[in-house]
Amino acid sequence: MALLEVKNAGIQFGGLKAVSGFNMRLNQGELVGLIGPNGAGKTTSFNLLTGVYVPTEGEIIFNGKRLNGLPPYKVTQSGISRTFQNIRLFSELSVLDNVKVAYHSLAKNSILSSIFRLPSHFSEEKNMEDKALEFLKIFKLERFKDEKAKNLPYGQQRRLEIARALAAGPKLLLLDEPAAGMNPQETHELMELIAFIREQFDLTILLIEHDMQLVMGICERIYVLDHGQLIAEGTPEVIRSHPKVIEAYLGEEVSDEHA
């Protein structure tokens, strides 16, 4: 059974079919790319997968369960976490608290135990802090734990967003342009980090990315959207020379320089 199965999904805004007839199958443990020119429908697809938009056609099955119509927090609880194209951190909170927030959304303890400050509240709080620190260590952000998130350089804010998404304990991690705004060195480190967390946390990862070096370098399969339609799917080798993909990218071969 596939971990994620998207069957003919789509959404229409007024007269515009932003995404239509979208089919995708992700198997457990895969690292897959979603690419396409600007406005192709990539972020809209993520919004469909995470309950931000309700599909006007088709269905989304995750881990054997139909997701259509579930609100985003339920989708997160069912095992899908994401990052955003425009970083969405709690900018006034510390780096550590940004990760702890993810645990709070999953915490088992009741509101009463935190109001009355029962021992279980303190042990759970300590547990969350320890786990959050472990994530910060993996993302090399531990030394900034008390810094406000807004004060981190851009590349580190992107890493913090991934750490927070991971802290929610997903089976499927969706990364929306994780390398945007990063320099080549940061992008290289990010590639290694993505490969590492996939192994370490037994994740399935779907990423949107304009940096072709990153996509072609780490993804096993790639889906290509253009004008809301899937135009190709296959290994990086297949995608690189696929006629429809070349046409969508202005007639140039999809090389590392041309996203």
Question: Given the rule CB under 6 A, which residues bind ligand ATP?
Answer: 13, 16, 18, 36, 38-44, 85
Minimum distance from residue 120 beta carbon to ligand ATP (Å): 42
| Cα–Cα distance for residue pair 120/6, rounded to 1 Å | 41
Beta bridge mates, 34: 208, 223
Give the shortest CB-147-to-ligand ATP separation in angstroms. 29
Q: Are 174 and 182 in contact, with CB atoms under 8 Å apart?
A: no
Residue nearer to ligand ATP on the CB measure, 41 or 79: 41
Strand order in the sheet with 4-13: 16-26, 4-13, 57-62, 65-66
Contact 78, 53 (CB under 8 A): no
CA distance 231 to 248: 9
DSSP state of 148: B
Q: How far is the CB of 154 from ligand ATP (least distance, A)?
A: 17
Nearest-approach distance from CB 91 to ligand ATP, in angstroms:
22
Of the pair 162, 248, the CB lying nearest ligand ATP is at 248
Comparison of 41 and 121: residue with beta carbon closer to ligand ATP: 41
Return the number of the residue (33 or 98) whose C-beta is nearest ligand ATP. 33
Nearer to ligand ATP, 38 or 185 (CB): 38
Minimum distance from residue 48 beta carbon to ligand ATP (Å):
9
What are φ and ψ of residue 122, in 5° steps?
Answer: -70, -40
Partners of 175 in beta bridges: 207
